[in-house]
Amino acid sequence: MKLNQSAYQGWVLRLFRVCLVLWVLAVFAGVAQAQESAAGGEGPQESLALFMIKSLGIVFGPLLLAVSVALVALCVLLALDLRMSGAIPPGFVEEFTNIVNQRKFKEAFEMARSDPSFLGQVLTAGMSRLQYGLEDAREAAMNALESIKADKDQKNNYTAVIGTLGPMFGLVGTVYGMIKSFSVLATATQINPAKLADGIAHALVVTLFGIAISVPAIFFNAYFRNRITRLCMDVGHIADDLLTQMYHNSKKQAPVAAANVPPSSQGVTPVPPPAAPR
């Protein structure tokens, strides 16, 4: 399954909207519950999850939510693009080999060009240069493979960026929360423990969410990087073998039917006709 750029952007936008709506509903549910508890004369009994969402604030909450949605979208996109069946389709090598052995080179080229997989793209680039020699075909195939690898590495690099930004967001939130807490200590004549705890909670919660985003981002970055390297190595080896086989088959002479070949060309000495009787 191969997603184009517009479909990918639309999918990410829909996912972000769903997560934003869920986050807003959770915040309003916590506020409504707190108001009901206050009206009933009860103390605050909101859950830890709602307390953490409220502690994020209106700035860091949507920001960390957007980064989380982007990470999930990147992981799903890379998981779909880096499947083994998407790089080397099952049955493709056997069918391509049979067509080449039958010397149907045009059909083999059309088969590779119509296949959107990694192997199909690499073979198409190599076969287009096969008429200039095997080395030119190998170089063109490897250039196409490097282009595919660069495209996947570019997408995977964004997971590394998210893994780096997570702790940075947490650090900014920590500094902001501590500034809020110390401003209460510096300006208030009578210290309010609730306001003091609000800044500390903000600092700790933003740090927690930043680290929580960074850990899976670093893991998936390493996983997809190794996956890209492995797939490109397999595709390169298979494409080189298929191009070599096609090149040598193209150099062989086509078999000619025995009925159309004179006996002398088949290595058989013709028998002279018997002499006429005198």
Residue-number span of the structural domain to which 67 is assigned:
57-251
**Exposure class string for 16-31: b at 16+ Cβ within 10 A, else e:** beebeeebeebbeebe
Write down the pTM of the prediction. Answer: 0.70
> Quick one: angle between helices 92-101 and 105-113, nearest 10?
160
- Domain assignment present for residue 260? The answer is no
Question: Same structural domain for residues 34 and 62?
Answer: no
Query: In 82-114, which residue ranges form alpha helices assigned H by DSSP?
Result: 84-87, 92-101, 105-113
Question: Same structural domain for residues 34 and 139?
Answer: no
For the chain, state the CA radius of gyration. 34
Question: Same structural domain for residues 38 and 82?
Answer: no
Q: Report the amino acid identity of residue 15.
A: L
Question: Same structural domain for residues 23 and 157?
Answer: no
**SS3 at position 90:** coil
Question: Same structural domain for residues 28 and 99?
Answer: no
Question: Same structural domain for residues 142 and 223?
Answer: yes
Question: Same structural domain for residues 142 and 237?
Answer: yes
Q: Report the amino acid identity of residue 217.
A: A
Question: Same structural domain for residues 30 and 125?
Answer: no
- Domain assignment present for residue 130? The answer is yes
- Domain assignment present for residue 261? The answer is no
* Residues, the chain: 278
Question: Same structural domain for residues 103 and 241?
Answer: yes
Question: Same structural domain for residues 32 and 77?
Answer: no
Question: Same structural domain for residues 68 and 172?
Answer: yes
Question: Same structural domain for residues 40 and 164?
Answer: no
Nearest CA to 220 among 13, 78, 8?
Answer: 78
Per-residue pLDDT of the chain (278 residues; tens, 9 = 90+): 444 545 555 655 666 566 566 556 655 555 555 555 545 544 555 577 777 877 787 888 888 888 999 999 999 999 998 998 888 988 899 999 998 888 888 898 999 999 889 999 999 999 988 888 889 999 999 999 999 999 999 999 999 999 999 889 888 888 888 888 888 777 767 777 777 788 888 888 888 899 999 999 999 999 999 999 999 999 999 999 999 988 888 877 655 544 444 544 444 444 444 444 44
